[in-house]
Chain A
């Protein structure tokens, strides 16, 4: 069986779908704004002082774009983690990177420190380092099972740390809880810029190292095919951890996007990273955009609940299919 969809068609299709979804997402909400008015806001026909402009430009659009860019980062990072670590279950969530980032950020929030993102990154990268040390087998290559096991254990310990911080946080506990649940309800344009920059970074990283990723993920001895594994893995893991940490510090922990999207895209387009990375990034953006819209329309549910409810069953199906 080798039926792969055309890459250009998939890229175009996903982009169109993303734009349509974006248009739809910013057109729904508590306040009913007709389509003509939305167009008016976007083209500047309606002045920015108008309420409709404020709703679209300060609330709905940044929220939608932040969600999309976060989804792009999570899915793109998932592809990179899976490729480098030869592990279909690897993603920021299962590797403890997201939890580490959350711990770092919780600590920063509790202590009222500035630069929450930096602490999120330090937390994420430390978690990844710990998982890597524990998870790699006796040889130089990380063993897939050990790695996920290490990710789960490190994730649990860090999760306990977060709970402890929450217990000790005093009046900051509300912010932490809200933030940990994963939400875009407070997203602003600054979040959009950070998210988009991270998404672009993941895209650039994935495309720059696409051939190295292909060789590493194929199961070949990558070094004998000319891949400088240490350098490639270092750049890729550090880069995608950094991007993940930025996203975690923007919107909290959101699982399953980095797991489900790459798997679905791989089935459709094959495992080549020159296709897998851009398509997963678009797919992740689409998924989280729609998941957030769903969360919003159900009365501000945590978006992580929605992604788990959508992504979990999809992943179960994929597992069942690959038996």
Chain B
């Protein structure tokens, strides 16, 4: 399978600390990969490097075989969308205006936003259950609503690659599960998805692959099924218990 997103030998040094020590990762089309690791393990740094927006001291990022360093910022943003950890909305733009910003890479500087742009933005809002929120101001939203606006903005970019940095950290369980259902439908469309998470249970339930980042190195068990208490204890420095659930899934709890 040709990989959609390919990271080769990514190294990042922040200050005197080497946060990422040569990360290789291939994500094919139609896959959800979950990225887990303790605080400060470099999950956000890796996502930023993969999007070509953060610091990268060495290594290469390719999308569909094209090195993103050879592309303009707009061309990269037409291929890779990012849902940031912090939405950081500062100015009282409306929800619709904010989601339409996701159309910038496609629409460009002067082209008037087309009916198609508005349709895509509307559909993106509907996908995150904010259909009626278009005229609200982003500065008036709750944390969870703002997070969903950021997801909609990334969806509006209509990119083959989607990078999400803890996209459900501010969401209630219903909306969190809805976001993963959404990711599942995007997987069906053939998108490649890398999502940083803190909750191992969402990863076990929804991800095709579970990746762990520890001490700057990527660790991947052979399959999500192979994630056991020992692996989690090693990564998170705390004992874990995993229970088989009646429905066939598994649930993990830290025991510290």
User: Which residues of A pack against B, CB within 8 Å?
Assistant: 1-2, 86, 208-209, 211-212, 214-215, 217-221, 223-228, 266, 270-272
In the bound complex, CA of A276 to CA of B98 (Å) = 16
Residues of B within 8 A of A218 (CB): 89-91, 93, 98, 101, 138
Contact A272 B97 (CB under 8 A): yes
Name A223's contact: one of B53, B87, B89, B102 (CB within 8 Å): B53
For residue B109, CB closer than 8 A to chain A, the reply is yes
Given A220-B88, A271-B93, A272-B93, residue A226 in contact with residue B105 (CB < 8 A): yes
- A225 to B78 CA separation, bound complex (whole angstroms): 8
Residues of B within 8 A of A224 (CB): 51, 53, 77, 80-82, 84
Q: State A221–B51 Cα separation when bound (angstroms).
A: 11
Which 10 A-B pairs have CB atoms at the shortest separation, nearest pair first? A226-B77, A219-B90, A226-B105, A219-B88, A226-B74, A224-B82, A271-B91, A223-B53, A228-B73, A224-B53
Q: Is the CB–CB distance between B105 and A211 below 8 Å? A: no
Q: Contacts of B51 on A, CB cut-off 8 Å?
A: 223-224
| A contact residues around B76 at 8 Å (CB) | 226
Asked if B90 and A217 make an inter-chain contact with CB atoms under 8 angstroms apart, the answer reads: yes
Name the contact of B104 in the complex, choosing from A217, A219, A226, A271 (C-beta under 8 A): A226
In the assembly, what is the distance between CA of A272 and CA of B157, in Å?
19
Nearest CB of A to B139, in Å: 9
Please name all residues of chain B whose beta carbon is closer than 8 Å to the beta carbon of A217 when the two chains form the complex: 90-91
Q: Which residues of B contact A270 (CB under 8 A)?
A: 92-94, 97
A243 to chain B, nearest CB (A): 21
Instruction: Establish whether residues B84 and A227, one from each chain, have CB atoms under 8 Å apart when the complex forms.
Output: no
Are A2 and B90 in contact (CB-based, < 8 A)? no
- Asked whether A211 and B137 contact (CB < 8 A) given A219-B88, A228-B73, A272-B97, the answer is no
Q: Mark B210-251, 1 if CB is under 8 A from A, else 0.
A: 000000000000000000000000000000000000000000
For A221, give its contact among B72, B84, B92, B135 (CB under 8 Å).
B84
Q: How many residues in B have their beta carbons less than 8 Å from beta carbons of A?
A: 36
A248 to chain B, nearest CB (A): 28
B81 cross-chain contacts in A, Cβ below 8 A: 224
Contact B97 A225 (CB under 8 A): no
B residues neighboring A (CB under 8 Å): 51-53, 72-74, 76-78, 80-82, 84, 87-94, 97-98, 101-102, 104-105, 109, 135-138, 140, 150, 153, 157
- B140 contacts which chain A residues (CB < 8 A)? 1
Partner pick for A2 among B84, B94, B157, CB 8 A cutoff: B94
Give the distance to chain B from A205, nearest Cβ to Cβ, in Å.
Answer: 13
CA distance A215 to B150 in the complex (A): 12
Q: How far is the CA of A194 from the CA of B104 in the complex (A)?
A: 34
Name the one of A214, A219, A227, A271 contacting B73, with C-beta atoms under 8 angstroms: A227
Q: What distance in Å separates the Cβ of B101 from its nearest Cβ neighbour in chain A?
A: 5
CA distance A32 to B72 in the complex (A): 61
Known A2-B136, A271-B93; contact A220-B153, beta-carbon cutoff 8 A: yes
Supply 5 further A-B pairs (C-beta < 8 A) apart from A214-B93, A218-B98, A226-B74. Answer: A218-B91, A218-B101, A220-B84, A226-B77, A270-B92
A221 touches B82 (CB 8 A): yes
Q: Are A86 and B90 in contact (CB under 8 A)?
A: yes
Q: Which residue of B lies closest to A224 (CB)?
A: B82
> Given the complex of chains A and B, what is the CA–CA distance between A17 and B74 in angstroms?
40
Q: Which residues in A have their C-beta under 8 angstroms from that of B94?
A: 2, 270
Q: Give the distance in Å from the alpha carbon of A227 to the alpha carbon of B102 in the complex.
A: 11
Q: Which residues of A contact B93 (CB under 8 A)?
A: 214, 218, 270-272
For residue A86, which residue of chain B has the nearest CB?
A: B90
Contact A225 B77, beta carbon cutoff 8 Å: yes
On whether the beta carbons of A211 and B72 are closer than 8 Å, the reply is no
* 18 sampled A-B residue pairs with Cβ under 8 A: A2-B94, A2-B136, A208-B109, A214-B97, A217-B90, A218-B101, A219-B88, A219-B91, A220-B153, A223-B51, A223-B52, A224-B80, A224-B82, A226-B73, A226-B74, A270-B92, A271-B93, A272-B93
Assuming the A-B contacts A217-B91, A270-B94, are A2 and B101 also in contact, with contact meaning beta carbons closer than 8 angstroms in the complex? Answer: no
Q: Point out the residues of chain A lying under 8 angstroms from B153, CB to CB.
A: 220, 225
Residue ID in chain A nearest B74 by CB atoms: A226
Question: Which has the most chain B C-beta neighbours within 10 Å: A220, A221, A223, A266?
Answer: A220
When chains A and B are docked, how far (Å) is the Cα of A219 from the Cα of B97? 13
* Inter-chain contacts of A225 with B (CB < 8 A): 77, 101-102, 104-105, 153, 157
Shortest beta-carbon distance from B95 to chain A in Å: 10
